[in-house]
Amino acid sequence: MKLALILLISLMSLNTFSQGVQVYEARPAGAIGAAPKEASKSDESSSDEDFEALERELAEQNKKLGSAGSLLNVEEDKPKKKTEEEDPIAQNQELFELQAALNEGKSPMDIIKDPALRKKLIKAYEVNPMSQMPKEALRDMLVDQIQGSPLGTLTKHFPFILNFLVNFMHHPTALGQAVKILDRPDDLRMCGFVSLVLMVLIYFIRRGFLKDEPPIGKVIGVKLLSSLIFLSLSLGFLYFTFLDELDPLLEVIKQSV
C-alpha cells in the first residue's frame, strides 16, 4: 500500500515537471544574432542622419563666416571709384553748377552769353539725363510745370505740342545737339542776317504785287504765299547750316506728328 502511494506521488511530480518545461524550437544558424544586427542598422542610420545634420549646420556656419569675412576684407571694403556712366551725379556735375549760377541771379541769357557757362551747358546735355526717366513720369512733371501758363493752355488745345515736348526732352541726343547750336554764335548771326535779307525782299515783293489797291483775295493770297516762302527759305538755311545738330530734332518731329 505504501509502495503504491509512493509511485502515485512520483508520477504526479513528473507530470508537473513536464508541464513546467519550456520547449524551444530549433532555429537556423543564420538567425542567431539577427536581432542585434537589426538594432545595429537602426543605430547606424540614426548616426548617419545626425552626421548629415551636423554637416548642414557646419555649412551654414561657414557661409555666415564667409560673408562676415568678406565684410572684414579690406580690399572689398574700400569704396570703388565709379565711372561717369555709373555715377549720374558726377556725370551731371555741370547741371549743379548751372543751377548754382541761376540761384546767384544769372538769367538763362547770361548763361548763353558767358563762354564758360555755355560750355558747361553743352557738356551737361551731351547725354541727356532726362532720357533715363520713364516717359510718363517726364510727362507728368512737364504738365505740372506748365500748368496755368500760356504754354499749358496751348497744350490742352493742341496735345501734339505736349507730345513733341515730351519726346524732345526724352530723346537721348536731341536736346544736347540743339544746345550745341549756342556754341556757334557766328553761324547764328549769319542765319539772322539771311532772315533779315529775306524779310526785306519779301517786303518789296509784296509792294510790287499789292499796288493800286488790289482786291482783298489777292492781298490775302500774296501775304500767305510770301510768308510761306520766307519761312521755307529761313528754316531751310538754318537746317543746312546746323545739319548735325538738327537731325535728331527732325526725328523727334516725325515721331510726334
pLDDT digits (tens, 9 = 90+) for 79-89: 444 444 444 44
Q: Please give the model's pTM, rounded to 2 decimal places.
A: 0.54
Average pLDDT over residues 187-204: 93
CA gyration radius for the chain? Answer: 49
Domain boundaries defined on the chain: 87-124, 185-241
- The 8-class DSSP code of residue 172 comes to T
Task: Classify 212 as helix, strand or coil.
Answer: coil
Dihedral angle over CA of 211, 212, 213, 217, nearest 10: -60
Residue whose cell numbers read 551737361 = 124
* Average pLDDT along the chain: 74
Per-residue pLDDT for 23 more than 60? no
Question: What is the reported pLDDT for 91?
Answer: 54
* Structure confidence by residue, pLDDT tens digits, 110-120: 887 888 888 88
| Residue type, position 171, single letter | H
Packing angle of the helix pair 135-146, 150-157 (nearest 10 deg): 130
Lowest mean pLDDT among 41-50, 93-102, 141-150, 160-169: 41-50
The Cα–Cα gap between 198 and 234 comes to 8
Q: Where are the alpha helices (DSSP H) in 92-242?
A: 93-103, 108-113, 115-124, 135-146, 150-157, 159-170, 174-180, 185-209, 216-241
- The 8-class DSSP code of residue 148 comes to T
- Highest mean predicted confidence (pLDDT) among 58-72, 76-90, 235-249: 235-249
- Please report which confidence band the pLDDT of residue 193 belongs to, taking 50, 70 and 90 as the band edges: very high
Sign of the CA dihedral with 240 first, then 241, 244, and 250 last: negative
Q: Where are the alpha helices (DSSP H) in 73-92?
A: 74-77, 88-91
